[in-house]
Amino acid sequence: MRIGRIREIGIGGLLLILLLPQVKCLYFNAGLRWLYILVFSFIASYFLTPFCGSIAIKLNILDLPDRRKIHDISTPLLGGLAVFLAFGFSLAVNRIFLPGMKSLLAGASMIFVLGLFDDIRPIPALLRFILQILISMVVIVGGDIYLTLFRNFPWAYALNFLLTILWIVGITNAMNFFDGIDGLAAGLSIISATFLGFIAFKTNQPAIGWLAVAIVGSCAGFMPHNFKFGKSAVIFLGDAGSTFLGFTLAGVAVLGEWSRTSDFVSLTAPVLIFGVLIFDMLYLTGSRIKNNRSKRDIFSILAMANTDHLHHRLLYMGFKRKESAFTIFTISTCLSVSALIIMDQEFIDALLGLFQAILVLGIVAVLMFKGRMVSSCEINGIKRND
């Protein structure tokens, strides 16, 4: 206990040192503003996560074990609060925002609050989905940020508007679905934000790069508490954290320009970076509709919680939890590297990048189908496969 207290005091002292104007100016004047944001968000998140866990325990905001879940003990759910606060504080000390960025951050904050209510007392899926759409609309209209796939067409704006809502809400929920094993959602967020940030800096969009770096640092500071080798997580992101990360990353993808050579390449790059999330969502949508024997409506099919996502299928095949996470991290990194490669290329290169992604995801589809073939094994068997 004494060692833990000393560590908390030391980390808190580091945060105070970073807040000193002299230290801040030292980083900024050296052209290392990104490093300052990364270090600050990491330390803030690492420092705040145990406190948020204690609050969750006191308020009984816990994720209880059940048949469709993998963890065996009740686990605090307010890890997302630590990530949210660390992210916000790191941007506040940076004090540089693009016009559309303020609207995005406001929307992300609303999504966080919505998820927090859902963690405390579950919100009906249809109501949650409608509120996510409304918040997305507020961000698009308020920040005037939307995808520009269609141009010089009578209904171009309306189609782009609808496509942007589909993108933001889809990625938001896909990230939430991936918060099924320790460290997976936070790890995927780190990978996506890293590549978005790298491309942003290379295309002279430093403000977007700093925002992405803040996500990386906040998630990285949370990971030691959530992704522990040989042990189970001591705290989870919760719906508040996973939906906040998904919404923010989706918004960053819309806000930025990801190629200097082609609009198609600029659209293809984030699709590759979020390829695993998009694939999982599309595969499950088709699979659930095809195998719907209860004749439920389509929304109920898509909204229901289940154990048929990519990480579940890998577990059914005998992968351990950490092995499943690292496998998915590797796939996501490979697709993101493709996005980095094509950023300065032309249309045909983007097509080749997409084709390569399709081949990789084709292998993943085979794994998911194989996982479905053996998914008759008991969930309790998966829990023991740690």
Output the CA–CA distances (angstroms, integers) from residue 164 to 115, 137, 157, 380, in the order listed: 21, 9, 10, 40
Inform me whether the pLDDT recorded for 350 exceeds 60.
Answer: yes
Q: Are 303 and 292 in contact (CB under 8 A)?
A: no
pLDDT tens digits along 236-290: 999 999 999 999 999 999 998 887 777 788 888 899 999 999 988 887 777 666 6
DSSP H stretches of helix in the chain: 2-19, 21-29, 33-58, 79-94, 99-120, 125-143, 156-177, 184-202, 206-226, 238-255, 263-273, 275-290, 298-303, 310-316, 321-342, 347-373, 379-384
> How far is 365 from 141, CA to CA, in rounded Å?
37
Q: Which of 12-26, 61-75, 186-200, 267-281 is the most confident on average?
A: 186-200
What's the Rg (C-alpha) of the chain? Answer: 21
Residues 325-332 have a mean pLDDT of 92
Dihedral angle of Cα 190, 191, 194, 196, to the nearest 10 degrees: -120
Inform me whether the pLDDT recorded for 304 exceeds 60.
Answer: no
Q: Output b/e per residue, 11-21; b: 16+ Cβ within 10 A.
A: beebbeebeee
Q: Are 191 and 198 in contact (CB under 8 A)?
A: no
Q: Are 142 and 245 in contact (CB under 8 A)?
A: no
SS3 295: coil
Backbone angles phi, psi at 63, to 5 degrees: -95, 110
Pick 19 or 372 by higher pLDDT.
19
What pLDDT score was predicted for residue 385?
45
Furthest C-alpha separation in the chain: 68
Residues 123-139 have a mean pLDDT of 93
What pLDDT score was predicted for residue 66?
66
How would DSSP label each residue in 99-123? Answer: HHHHHHHHHHHHHHHHHHHHHHSPP
Output the CA–CA distances (angstroms, integers) from residue 245 to 24, 165, 323, 326, in the order listed: 26, 16, 23, 19
**Per-domain residue ranges for the chain?**
2-384
> How far is 109 from 305, CA to CA, in rounded Å?
24
Inform me whether the pLDDT recorded for 297 exceeds 80.
Answer: no
What pLDDT score was predicted for residue 386?
45
What pLDDT score was predicted for residue 72?
67
DSSP-derived letter for residue 227 is: S
Mean pLDDT of the chain: 85
Please give the structure tokens belonging to residue 14: 């580091």
Inform me whether the pLDDT recorded for 229 exceeds 60.
Answer: yes
Query: What crossing angle do the helices spanning 275-290 and 321-342 adopt, rounded to 10°?
Result: 120
Inform me whether the pLDDT recorded for 384 exceeds 60.
Answer: no
What pLDDT score was predicted for residue 306?
63
For 109, how many CA atoms within 13 A lie in the half-sphere containing its CB? 11
